[in-house]
Structure 1
Amino acid sequence: MKNQDKSLTPSPTLYTVREIADILRIHPRTAYRLVQEGRIRGIKVGSQWRVPESSLLEYIEYGLQAAPKKEKKDGKDGPEQLKLPI
């Protein structure tokens, strides 16, 4: 018997639009619109969209980079708020 040396590449994690909505804590219709418009890259399998984890992370990273750095003028301590491009 031959020793087969096949490297198995792991399958990418694919999310449904509903899972994307849950992760981003947005309405499913908003998530669907983002995917349909190409703002979050996805692939269509039949009639349903699937979003690779890398595309979701890319979208989040883009939102972090696009957020302007603001200095706090009121002197209040609080969390910095970032806005994703929705």
Structure 2
Amino acid sequence: MHTPNDGGPRGYKVSRVADLLDAHPNTIYAWIHSGRLRAVRIGRTYRGPAESLAEFTADRRGREAP
């Protein structure tokens, strides 16, 4: 079962990922293309699964820790 906050079965749109990570959508695309952020391409759009965002934020927090 999906909740309104988990991105649904297809994941979050790039614009939503940008809002969640407080980043510009172009930055999100750059992270996707560099492999830093995992996403799924559906047609001409990308979707970020909730698991991918959790991994990314955990990794990001780990690098920011002193």
Please state which band the TM-score falls in when normalised by the shorter chain. 0.7 to 0.9
TM-score, structure 2 as length reference: 0.79
> Where does 1:33-72 land on structure 2 (aligned, <5 Å)?
33-69=30-66
Counterpart Cα distance in 2 of 1:19 and 1:68: 26
Q: CA deviation at 1:38?
A: 1.5
Aligned length: 60
1:32 to 29, 34, 40: 29
Counterpart Cα distance in 2 of 1:25 and 1:37: 19
Counterpart Cα distance in 1 of 2:34 and 2:45: 14
Partner of 1:22: 19
Larger radius of gyration: 1
Work out the percentage of aligned pairs sharing the same amino acid. 30
- Amino acid in the other structure paired with 1:35: I
1:9-53 per-residue CA deviation (whole Å, 9 max, x = no partner) reads: x36731011111111111111111111222110110111101101
Q: Which runs of 4+ in 1 moved over 6 A?
A: none
Counterpart Cα distance in 2 of 1:51 and 1:16: 7
Which runs of 5 or more residues in structure 2 are unaligned?
none
User: What RMSD in Å do the two structures reach over aligned CA positions?
Assistant: 1.5
